[in-house]
Structure 1
């Protein structure tokens, strides 16, 4: 295939995809890292590591395969971290779990039976677990209105109006409104102490059984079931035939590179994949890979300036950041709960998974996401056994 330089159309599509991907979910990532025990510097390092990893991964994958392979951080995974809380051992233990999750993603790509086993997890249960993880965060806009009525309502109104007329821009505009409110409340933000180029922090991991079961396994499952597998499906829907195993392995390798610096996981994208794989990126499907590569370059720039992002976040009331994160996850929650309860035969099992996960309870130090999947799976096996007798 002969080399052709990227078209302006492809570059602009990639720029838009990166802005939407970053602005619509970075608040969720920050919430997740902070809930896992990261301090401000470690959360900044994690945000930087994730942005650089997914940018480089997108560039390598797209230029190598000539397919528009869009890469994102695991937004459902970040939501899982926010709901699971800090493990015993703090953020170092969470980083250990991130490393194990990355290794599992690599193995899912390298070992076909392992990858098929992950794909064999009943979709209603996987979606129900994800819905349970997202549920608590989706309540944040309501809590924001209760705590800061005027500010909370202004953010929700901005999101709602934008959602009606320009859905892709709803969350970025809500975030802009949030920062505007922060400026109004606290005055001009002091950027003198902020690093222009962020510095990564190498975190010595701690490996604990609790963190493996509470974080690593659920993070692996939601990343594969909610991001990697749908990401492959989106590419195939646009006529591409990606090597799923190779792409899973590549995303796992870049997850492994970001984990020691606080990044939880990177994976194939779904929403931004559609933006880069569609006709808006280029009329010629063979040239659309430039859009995904351009998005990767923009993610790298975002990563380098992660410290400035964190400076604005630090000056903003945390409940408002949580509110934006909740608004960003509403569509994902609606889709997940809809898919979980769609089939009548597995609806009860899915609801059990959702209820246990959403409860937020933990047993033996293990978070509700694991127990929810276990409870729903056990009930599904029981009902199937009864129906077979």
Structure 2
């Protein structure tokens, strides 16, 4: 691959890592603390998860030459926020994390399940991806409404780049965003006080309370709201990785991070669209360096978590979301095109799209899963109806 071919995917991967980290790291720390983790244990959990994600991104994509991306389970930590501290304290939480990780490994080893996941119809997968991307793609418009002085120059830089250097429109917008943040962000006094996160090993304790309240729901939420949408993102962008090995690797990674206070890791979904989509590179075969770059950024963010947390927490979150939305516009367009291309599956795809975009949470499981279920169910119903023979005409 020529040197010039590396620049675009590397920038896309770096953006994906920054967006993934910046958008939810505070949620991770809050969830771990709410489940009983001490500040040191919460910091250790975030540190270990960043390291595991970085290693998986680098190792898997560089070996397979497919832009497979990994992230932490955002729906999982959102669920964890609602649970509270179980009987047995944080060691019991670590034990529940290990149970969830073991179930993810089993999901990868049970071949019928993996085949079922790989059989998701392409229009439904594209519709799910479009629904997931819609909210973030609206962020640039929201940013213009909320802070036009900062957001308009970013959009202008992106538009100019789109006109004169289309491949580098998003990197140009990233540079413009960095300049805007540097000029507008002021760290509070004492924001950088404190040491870097340190590793704090935890001896897991297995309690029925924590397993039922945390372990089993964490497994379901991670599979339904992260791993399945993550595979759908890959399929929507023309990649068909084998699900089973990916589930096994994320399960093993989750088990290792649980020993240091970390929660589940899984296939990335929204940030995966940045790495696997056309903005990473026009040629799908040249997109694999994007997750590698993301992995390097995660490894750099891990020891400097306090510095990154202080700077990003002080920056307007909408600006970070806005540049991510710009990066995902072409992925949204491609996903919508793929979802609506098949007339027979058009209505089921729309059901999947609107359900996913709604953001509903039912039984602790996020909207992408219910969009997937609703779209496939309607598609099956329509195909069964089409296969029925018309009634005979009476003579």
Q: By the TM > 0.5 criterion, same fold?
A: yes
Residue deviations 1:158-217 (CA, integer Å, cap 9, x gap): 233334445565444434433432333344776872567444678998517665555541
CA distance in structure 2 between the partners assigned to 1:279 and 1:376 by the alignment: 30
Structure 1 residue aligned with 2:150: 151
Q: CA deviation at 1:386?
A: 1.1
- Using a 3 Å threshold, how does the CA distance of structure 1 residues 325 and 233 change in structure 2: closer, same or farther? same
Aligned length: 360
Does residue 353 in structure 1 map to residue 352 in structure 2? yes
1:219 corresponds to = 226
SS in structure 1 of the partner of residue 135 of structure 2? helix
The equivalent residue for 1:88 is 82
Alignment of 1:1-389 (within 5 A): 17-34=9-26, 38=31, 48-57=47-56, 60-61=59-60, 68=65, 72-74=69-71, 88-89=82-83, 103=102, 106-107=105-106, 109-166=108-165, 169-187=168-186, 193=192, 197-199=196-198, 207=214, 213-227=220-234, 233=240, 245-246=244-245, 249-258=248-257, 260-262=261-263, 264-266=265-267, 270=276, 299-389=298-388
Is the partner of 2:315 in helix, strand or coil? coil
Partner Cα separation in structure 2 for residue 225 and residue 180 of structure 1:
35
Q: Is the 8 A contact 1:128 1:351 kept in 2?
A: yes
SS in 1 for 2:69: strand
Secondary structure (helix, strand or coil) at the match of 1:88 reads coil
CA distance in 1, matches of 2:342, 2:136: 26
Q: Residue 196 and residue 232 in structure 1: after superposition, are their counterparts in 2 closer, same or farther (change >3 A)?
A: farther
CA distance in 1, matches of 2:97, 2:332: 24
CA contact (8 A) 2:225 2:367 kept: no
Counterparts of 2:14 and 2:333 in 1: how far apart (Å)?
A: 21
Unmatched segments (≥5 aa) in structure 1:
1-8, 235-242, 282-287
Return the alpha-carbon distance in structure 2 between the equivalents of residues 200 and 19 of structure 1: 30
**CA deviation after TM superposition for structure 1 residue 376, in Å:** 1.6
Unmatched tracts of structure 2, length 5 or more: 34-38, 205-209, 389-395
The CA distance in 2 between the partners of 1:369 and 1:108, in whole Å, is: 19
- Which whole-Å CA distance do the structure 2 matches of 1:207 and 1:263 have between them? 11
Q: Kindly state the Cα deviation for residue 330 of structure 1 after the two structures are TM-superposed.
A: 2.1
Distance 1:388 1:271, change over 3 A: closer
In structure 2, distance between residues paired with 1:315 and 1:196: 19
Tell me the secondary structure at the aligned position of residue 249 of structure 1: helix
Q: How far has the Cα of 1:58 moved from its partner?
A: 5.0
Larger Rg belongs to: 2
Q: How big is the alpha-carbon RMSD for the aligned residues of Structure 1 and Structure 2?
A: 4.8
Q: CA deviation at 1:157?
A: 1.8
- CA distance in 1 between counterparts of 2:99 and 2:384 reads 34
Query: Taking structure 1 as reference, are residues 351 and 376 closer, same or farther at Cα in structure 2, changes over 3 Å only?
Result: same
Change (3 A) 1:366 1:114: closer
Contact 1:18–1:298 under 8 Å retained in 2: no
Q: Residues 45 and 262 of structure 1 are in contact (CA less than 8 Å); yes or no, is this contact kept in structure 2?
A: no
TM-score by length of 1: 0.70
Return the TM-score normalized by structure 2: 0.69
